[in-house]
A and B are shown apart, each in its own frame.
Chain A
């Protein structure tokens, strides 16, 4: 029940296309859903986060869509660029507790020029 299931494991998108990564969870007590971006040789960095009081949050080309009834949330990258090529992790926690973040397994995104 504590797991966050992430798919796909890897994704190849053409430059200018839309990248979509999905995550699903079981624990209905989760109330904080961040996405992290990790470039090779770097640690993960917070990209965007959402709480379940809204169904969508947009920051630039990055959008989180949240479906509370389906217990799913997804990351959409619009107009994908080669510089977006990285590994993306979804995560979830209760009360925003940073010591209780449950991470997904990651999605390796490659944006082809």
Chain B
């Protein structure tokens, strides 16, 4: 595997389900990110991790819970979601947070909440 991988690629869940999204980066990067992508909206940064430590939570509802066990893996735990949470969830990584480093994105998980 190369780059940034995400699983599953598609997820359909009910409002009472609990599920997790997984992201893995094979680039040796130190920073990882979760974004939400909705149609006709800018990408919304949700969480930022740097060296496994969360550095940003952009007012994300508590029904989204991130976990970063090491610099290569990032999870997004989902529970009691709402239909408006349906979107493409993108994971990204970069070598560092600052210094004009390129962000590398995974292909995303298409989430549908029924």
Interface, chain A (partner B; CB < 8 A): 4, 9, 32, 41-46, 49, 51, 89, 95-99, 101-106
Contacts and interface: CB of A to CB of B under 8 A. Distances in A.
B103 to A, nearest CB: 5
Interface stretch (B14-22, B38-46, B62-70): B38-46
Nearest 9 A-B pairs (CB), nearest first? A43-B105, A96-B100, A103-B42, A103-B43, A98-B94, A99-B48, A46-B102, A97-B98, A44-B105
Interface residues of B, number: 28
Interface of B: 4, 31, 33, 40-43, 45, 48, 50, 55-56, 90, 92, 94, 96-108
Contacts, number: 60
Contacts of B56: 99
Most-contacted residue by chain A among B56, B90, B100 (CB, 10 A):
B100
A42 B100 contact: no
Determine which residue in B31, B43, B45, B55 has the highest number of CB atoms from chain A within 10 A of its CB, and name it. Answer: B43
Nearest to B98: A97
Q: Which of B42, B50, B102 has the most CB of A within 10 A?
A: B42
Contacts of B106: 43
